[in-house]
Amino acid sequence: MKYIVGIGGMTNGGKTTLTNSLLKSLPNCCVIHQDDFFKPQDQIAVGEDGFKQWDVLESLDMEAMLSTVQAWMSSPQKFARAHGVSVQLDASDTHILILEGFLLYSYKPLVDLYSRRYFLTVPYEECKWRRSTRRYMVPDPPGLFDGHVWPMYQKYKREMEANGVEVVYLDGMKSREELFHQVLEDIQNSLLNRS
Ligand SMILES: Nc1ncnc2c1ncn2[C@@H]1O[C@H](COP(=O)(O)OP(=O)(O)OP(=O)(O)O)[C@@H](O)[C@H]1O
Ligand SMILES: NC(=O)c1ccc[n+]([C@@H]2O[C@H](CO)[C@@H](O)[C@H]2O)c1
Ligand SMILES: [Mg+2]
């Protein structure tokens, strides 16, 4: 069985942290990080606000991300081996793929492929604080969070909800351990219900 999990939600919600924990505990589990598909800096548009528009779908090479997902779908075993994931062959033959990123549910060709879509959120103040402690490959210029990052987050979330995309919301204020156990248990239950 092939099972695709989305770990989505806002920037600094804790997506990468949660994903790394899940990867260690789920059998035959591969990961694709959406952040690996950012276009080069010189291809990122500059908005009327003067900010480079990092937080829009057009700044990601989603076609390339889709091709990578399709490569996994056509042969999860081959994909796992090529990415250094050890494959355990047991009777259930379950293969899991985690897609991790901040705009997972806004790209039409991918949205129906998920078996389960998680969405991490934290309050505005916490998000802004966590973001201020981070250094990205291209550092945030002053004002980017309020001028671009937060408004784009709200816009895409509104669109996702208007499109009726079904997600499981996760409270990113919970501890790392609590989130990990909650999601691991939920995935395991959902896998049992399918097999
Ligand atoms: N449950 C948690 N409670 C408190 N802090 C957390 C929790 N999970 C992650 N963090 C911290 O919050 C910050 C963001 O975490 P992480 O990088 O996992 O988020 P992200 O959603 O992947 O962010 P990005 O938008 O950069 O991809 C990090 O400093 C991390 O250590
Ligand atoms: N990874 C990058 O190249 C990059 C560059 C500039 C900004 N970002 C930020 O990453 C977040 C998603 O994880 C987005 O909020 C981007 O602003 C990433
Ligand atoms: Mg991350």
Among protein residues, the one with the nearest Cα to ligand 2's atom 18 is: 136
Q: Which atom of ligand 1 is nearest to the CA of 100?
A: 22
Q: Is 37 in the pocket of ligand 2 (CB under 6 A)?
A: no
Q: Is 161 in the pocket of ligand 2 (CB under 6 A)?
A: no
Centre of ligand 1 from the C-alpha of residue 171, in Å: 12
ipTM above 0.95? yes
- Dist. CA 97–CA 119, nearest whole Å: 16
pLDDT at 187: 97
Q: Which domain does 114 fall in, by range?
A: 2-194
Give me 177's structure tokens: 């351990």
With residue 113 as reference, give the H or E element that holds it: none
The residues annotated with a catalytic role in the active site are 35
**Closest-CA residue to 12 (of 110, 174, 132):** 132
Who's near 143: CB < 8 A, 6+ residues apart?
51
3-class DSSP assignment, residue 151:
helix
- Dist. CA 98–CA 114, nearest whole Å: 9
Per the structure, the count of domains in the chain is: 1
**Closest-CA residue to 167 (of 114, 99, 124, 126):** 114
Q: Is 62 in the pocket of ligand 2 (CB under 6 A)?
A: no
pLDDT at 133: 97
Q: Which atom of ligand 1 is nearest to the CA of 18?
A: 18
The whole model's pTM is what?
Answer: 0.97
Q: In what order do the strands lie in the sheet with 116-121?
A: 29-33, 95-100, 2-9, 116-121, 168-171
Neighbours of ion ligand 3 (CB under 5 A): 16
- Dist. CA 130–CA 45, nearest whole Å: 25
Token pair 């004002």: residue: 143
- Dist. CA 102–CA 80, nearest whole Å: 24
Predicted confidence (pLDDT) per residue in 157-181, tens digit: 999 999 999 999 999 999 999 999 9
pLDDT at 92: 66
Token pair 């219900």: residue: 193
Among protein residues, the one with the nearest Cα to ligand 1's atom 16 is: 14
Centre of ligand 2 from the C-alpha of residue 103, in Å: 11
Q: Is 135 in the pocket of ligand 1 (CB under 6 A)?
A: no
pLDDT at 91: 55
Q: Is 145 in the pocket of ligand 2 (CB under 6 A)?
A: no
Predicted confidence (pLDDT) per residue in 15-51, tens digit: 999 999 999 999 899 999 999 999 999 999 999 999 9
Rg of the chain over all Cα atoms, to the nearest angstrom: 17
Predicted confidence (pLDDT) per residue in 108-157, tens digit: 999 999 999 999 999 999 999 999 999 999 999 999 999 999 999 999 99
Domain of residue 186, CATH code: 3.40.50.300
Q: In the predicted model, is pLDDT for residue 101 greater than 90?
A: yes
pLDDT at 124: 98
Predicted confidence (pLDDT) per residue in 45-92, tens digit: 999 999 999 999 999 999 999 999 999 999 999 999 999 888 877 656
20 HSE (CA, 13 A, CB side): 4
